Structure 1
Amino acid sequence: MPSLCDQLEDDGLRPSGIDGKAFVPFDFLEETINNDSVKDTLGMTGGTCIKARKPSDLPDRITKDAKRIFAALVLMDKVDAIESLLDEGLTDEHLPLSRDPKYDAVLSRDGETTFQFGGLGRPTITEFIKRKQWLFLAPILETNGDLIEVNQECALPFTESEVIGNGQAGVVHRAKIYQAHQRGFEAETVNFQVAIKDFHQKSEFVKENEILQQIRGLEHPHIIRHLTSIDKGKKGWYIIFPWAAGGNLQDYWEASEQEPSRDLVSWSLTQMLGLTQALQKLHEQFKCRHGDLKPGNILCVQENGETVLKIADFGISRIHHAQTTYRKTATTSLLLTPSYQGPEVEFEKVDKTDQRPRSRKYDIWSLGCVFLEFAIWLLHGPKAIEGFANAKGTGKSSTNPSSPLYEVTDKATRTARVHQLVSWTIERLQANPQCKEGTALAALLNLIKNQMLQPEVEERPTAALICVELETIIQEAQKDPSYLLPFCDTSGVPSLDFNSFQSGTY
């Protein structure tokens, strides 16, 4: 039978999938450190210490109060010190221990209690404090959205990790949380899978966490749940979310070759309404502008057998308690996605003495861009989405990889117009018999064209008004299913030949 030391080293130690540090899971420790294994390790028989030849309650004391301390001593081959440490009053509740900066002693976690640490030598104490104790102190994480501070030497209890995305702010991992080191993740995740945002800089972590802490009470079905935030000091900053197995909306579009159907149109309109309602909640209840709405920041989560779209990534969100249309100070968000940014971005630094502020209606333009692509996908599939993206062209620099859906006509007078590609695309979609007047898709395209994609901020509706429009469309469809998608001959449906747009032959 392997020794306790062998069990801890061979079977107990698990590498963290995030920070690479080893940890012994809580449940393994609980199972492995028991009266029998303690007696065997201490060389006891029948509850009597072989060396002292006297009855001992030491195994009970260890299993009750000091499993972590005992396990660490086992790995250090210092188990003989356990009794004197317990006699000093040391228990697992005092971990992690640290050096007293003033005296040659050891301090408890709260810094209130001092221990001589059994008279063990300085190298042994240093080994315990700097390395061994941390193997048994991986945190137990909860889903209440709290920010927790974790010592940089402590492992994070994540396994099966892989990097699935890189961005300007950091890296995104897909991982599993070790089951014994969580509370609530079973209900919030599928098979304990989570998405972990690993930030490059503390400032970006603080920025996003502050927003998440302020909106943590918002439990909207179309906003991704924030489970917890972790600050490991210089060793890393992490925010944990449920893993979206369906990827983001862009992934969903690319993977789907579905033909237009009433069910698909109904689902799409319902999800659009849900996203807009979530945005309304952010705008009105929390005075929060998301600031970077795009398909990549809308996640696809499976709930009760259906795909639900959820707004995610609040990295450049801002909370403003001033009026939404006019503010006295300019916005400083730089990490924008050009394809979905509103025209007002172009004019914020034209005149530093009279800056046009960015309002929450900035999100309305971005959402209009998303809805337009949604309509393209609904009617023409993922290849048309790709064609639309290519037709937009590339941006002017490496930091602006794609062009926006507007054209600046006069920067001095702060005027812009909708990109010709948008007008051309909407006209082609409106020529589709499935989008004829008196249909749901016709109403959606009118909403996008006439209200959401308005270059002038003041001319865009609020999220609340868009909700009303979408609710009306859905209600009409419930009365008459043919309103969703009329039966018609689709052989004459005009194609979206973006090559003809680019060549100017249309």
Structure 2
Amino acid sequence: MAFLRCLFQPFIRLFRHHGGKESPRSGTNPNSDNHSSFPSADVSVVDSHVNVDELGPHCSGAPLDDQSSPGLQSDRSVSTQSSLLDVIPSPSSRLHGLQVSLSSASIQSYRSGHAIYVPLSRLRKLITESKVEDILHEEGWVQDLYAARRIVQTSMKLFAILVSRKRGADIFRFLDEGISDTDLPFVLKEPARAGSERMTLQTNGGRDIRTTSEWQDSEVRSLAQKQWRMLAPVFELGEHYDLPGDQILPFTDRRQIETEGGFSNVFQTFIHPAHYTGNFPVREDRQAVVAVKKLFSSDPSRFQSERDMHITLRRTSGPHPHLISLLFTYKKGIKFHLVFPWADKNLRKYWSEIPLEQIGDQKVLWSLKQMTGLASALSLIHGFQLPDERQPGRHFGRHGDLKAENIVWFPSYPGCTDTDGILQITDLGLASLHSIGSVSNGDPAGVRGTKTYRPPDNHRNLRISRKWDIWSLGCLYLEFITWIVLGFDAIVEFAELRGAERGETDEFSEDYFYTADLRDVRPSVKAWVTRLSEDERCSDMLYDLLCLIMQKMLRIEPNDRIDSQQLHQELLRLLERALSNRTYLVSASERPPIIARSKVKCFLRRDRRSPIRRYVKF
């Protein structure tokens, strides 16, 4: 009987529409127009999990055989009789059940003005070939054998949009016009003059949609606005997306962590598991956790230069373990965004969370490995060339704002076996800006990088060069050694000591590493290095690293500073020796008393005197 009922269902509905009578089904009111009632079918959608129950049994007789299908197209025409289009689904119908399920399957997008969207995974569970076939039979819309398959494979999102707007029967009119999911999103076409003609829609290619010309303006506008709920994008690694301002993003933000810099702000968000493909950093629930960098400027050249640097570095050298990876980019409205893996902490926060007593031999070796890796990543940046090769053989890359806040820590990385995690250089925004309009130099005027780590070049009207980064990295390494030898609190004390030197102008009350006359490293810095070298925790390896910093990195004249490739090689030699000789890594040998030009004394808040005396040449 069920089979016969399904077979004659189209004729029964036509008969009922033209004034015929049909016995009401058990538990339903045949005259009811109430669309807010829930269907009798059991529909269960849980927000935090993709769990959508079946809407009802398959009643079309035998299921379609995928193996014997001759194709998706049919020679039989699709009828667009108004008698079918005007049928309103009853509250107990499968069509109404799908409407309710689509609404229940929606989740909130926390970065799109609290808009909602239906994840692709849920859409695929709700709109299957068998369920669509059941609806077509029940509503009397079946016009060819493969209609359900055609809808699911080419127009699933379009069908969901129409059903959610209670225009499900119009799917065949859209198909007759050759319109499918590839034509989404639709564009609202306003009348030239108010009241002159009706509102209508166009495909994303600018083709008028005839079907919507018969709709009320309110229906056209509603579909144009609500279509975005079914159109959340799926992001792929390395791609760029130009998204309309109305686009709803598949971001399921649980925590609001946001930071702001001179050129951008960065926020943390999570991407729904159904809306990314590729090797994204994921949590246990398979949501991708990412950092979205939103540029303040709408200038496409600034965005493009930063993106080009990431893409070119990856293409020419592959992913570098100590350089942050760009996942994808997008433009939403007029604003540009770059998306990276989310790091829970930067280097300064990492330092602050590990007490001195936990910094043992393994952590010291790890620190040397990371400093060597960072130098390697910097040499890669310094070798960057413009992708169009307008200046073959000329080098363009530099970072411009190296500091502990722009070094991020990850607990793991593909191919990294170190249990202490890995450090990566991030924020190449200034690096990309420097590559615009100049080959090896840039004007320091207007640079927004952190003042503390700027070299004296900044006040000597010397143009920015790659040697700028060497000075900044030397300052960073000096803080790194301070953390190893004296702990995080000493880093704060070091900054206070630099900023408190007497005889400085107001401008130089900053905690720079050089003197106000721009001729030398600050006496407080020299005294601090002497203090570090005398400490019992300063091994021969750390002592040699201090010498490298003071003799080849923190030099007033840019040309006296080591380049990044040479620095990497020097650090590799220290690392190889430390790996082969544990005594070199952890022990300190006796040396002659320290001789330094500075007469400034360095006092710590805690007395940590050591019998070790070494000679450090500045």
TM-score computed with the length of structure 2 as normaliser: 0.69
Contact 2:106 2:116 in 1 (8 A): no
Give the superposition deviation at 1:311: 0.4
Moved more, 201-210 or 363-372: 201-210
Gaps of 5+ in 1: 349-355, 410-414, 490-494, 502-506
Superposed CA deviations along residues 136-159 of structure 1, whole A, max 9, x for unmatched, are 111111112x33211111111111
Residues 156-305 of structure 1: matches in 2 within 5 Å? 156-161=249-254, 162-186=256-280, 188-190=281-283, 191=286, 192-203=288-299, 205-206=303-304, 208-217=306-315, 218=317, 219-234=319-334, 236-245=335-344, 247-259=345-357, 260-286=359-385, 287-303=396-412, 304=417, 305=419
Counterpart-to-counterpart distance in 2, 1:334 and 1:298: 19
**Equivalent position of 1:408 in the other structure:** 516
Provide the identity percentage.
Answer: 28
1:431 corresponds, among 507, 531, 534, to: 534
Counterpart-to-counterpart distance in 1, 2:353 and 2:249: 33
Counterpart-to-counterpart distance in 2, 1:107 and 1:397: 65
**Equivalent position of 2:453 in the other structure:** 340
Give the superposition deviation at 1:270: 0.8
**Equivalent position of 1:412 in the other structure:** none
- Aligned-pair Cα RMSD in Å: 3.2
Contact 1:435 1:442 in 2 (8 A): yes
Residue identity opposite 1:444 in structure 2: L
Give the superposition deviation at 1:90: 1.6
1:312 corresponds, among 422, 426, 442, to: 426
Counterpart-to-counterpart distance in 2, 1:400 and 1:183: 50
- Provide the secondary structure at the position in 2 that maps to 1:379: helix
Contact 2:310 2:325 in 1 (8 A): no
Gaps of 5+ in 2: 1-41, 44-96, 386-395, 591-600, 608-618
Change (3 A) 1:323 1:57: closer
Change (3 A) 1:487 1:365: closer
- Provide the secondary structure at the position in 2 that maps to 1:160: coil
Superposed CA deviations along residues 267-316 of structure 1, whole A, max 9, x for unmatched, are 11111010001111111244311000000000111224331111000121
Give the superposition deviation at 1:88: 1.9
Contact 1:97 1:109 in 2 (8 A): yes
Residue identity opposite 1:373 in structure 2: E
More strand by share: 1
More helix by share: 1
Residue identity opposite 2:457 in structure 1: E
Change (3 A) 1:12 1:398: farther
Contact 1:165 1:172 in 2 (8 A): yes
Question: Are residues 1:134 and 2:235 paired?
Answer: no
Higher relative contact order (CA 8 A, sep 6+): 1
Counterpart-to-counterpart distance in 2, 1:397 and 1:63: 73
Residues 46-85 of structure 1: matches in 2 within 5 Å? 49-50=139-140, 57-85=146-174
- Provide the secondary structure at the position in 2 that maps to 1:27: helix
Contact 1:216 1:226 in 2 (8 A): no
- Provide the secondary structure at the position in 1 that maps to 2:519: strand
Counterpart-to-counterpart distance in 2, 1:150 and 1:400: 46
Counterpart-to-counterpart distance in 2, 1:264 and 1:497: 26
Counterpart-to-counterpart distance in 1, 2:450 and 2:375: 19
Superposed CA deviations along residues 426-481 of structure 1, whole A, max 9, x for unmatched, are 01011124436xx1011000011111111111110101111122112112223321
Residue identity opposite 1:193 in structure 2: V
Give the superposition deviation at 1:334: 1.9
**Equivalent position of 1:366 in the other structure:** 472
1:446 corresponds, among 547, 558, 581, to: 547
Contact 1:211 1:319 in 2 (8 A): no
Give the superposition deviation at 1:333: 4.9
Count of residues in Structure 1 that have an aligned counterpart in Structure 2:
468
**Equivalent position of 1:420 in the other structure:** 523
Contact 2:536 2:588 in 1 (8 A): no
TM-score computed with the length of structure 1 as normaliser: 0.84
Residue identity opposite 1:442 in structure 2: Y
Change (3 A) 1:168 1:64: same
Contact 1:248 1:296 in 2 (8 A): yes
Contact 2:343 2:409 in 1 (8 A): yes
